[in-house]
């Protein structure tokens, strides 16, 4: 069962240089795995992405308050690492917003 709580290589590759996740996940604990910073002269928001291993992977995106915008959260079903990573990058770059 321990193998279910280690990050897989696909997940690490998907998040690339933004990956800051643990070497081993605690079961059912929401853990920070990636952070996207908004470029200085953009209208983007910094984003943190969390993963909860159950042993399936559930993701939570937290867009932080800043640049005159309210913070918000989004969550995904199991196995949506690529989607949440692309959304995190787009929100940080100011290309995706919640209205």
Give residue-wise pLDDT tens across range 11-70. Answer: 999 999 999 999 999 999 999 999 999 998 889 999 999 999 987 899 999 999 987 889
For residue 1, what pLDDT is reported? 55
H-helix segments, 25-93: 81-92
By the 8 A CB rule, do 45 and 38 touch?
yes
What was the pLDDT predicted at 13?
A: 96
Angle, alpha carbons 35-97-59 (nearest 5°) = 45
pLDDT mean over 72-93: 95
How far is Cα 85 from Cα 68, in angstroms, rounded to an integer?
Answer: 23
The 3-state DSSP class for residue 76 equals coil
Torsion of Cα atoms, 52 then 15 then 18 then 4, to 10°: 40
């Amino acid at each position: 069962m321990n193998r279910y709580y280690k990050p897989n290589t696909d997940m690490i590759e998907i998040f690339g240089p933004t990956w800051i996740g643990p070497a081993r996940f605690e079961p059912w604990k929401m853990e920070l795995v990636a952070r996207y910073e908004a470029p200085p002269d953009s209208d983007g928001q910094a984003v943190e992405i969390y993963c909860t291993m159950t042993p399936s992977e559930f993701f939570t995106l937290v867009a932080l308050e800043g640049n005159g915008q309210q913070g918000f959260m989004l969550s995904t079903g199991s196995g949506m690492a690529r989607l949440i990573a692309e959304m995190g990058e787009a929100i940080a770059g100011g290309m995706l917003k919640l209205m």
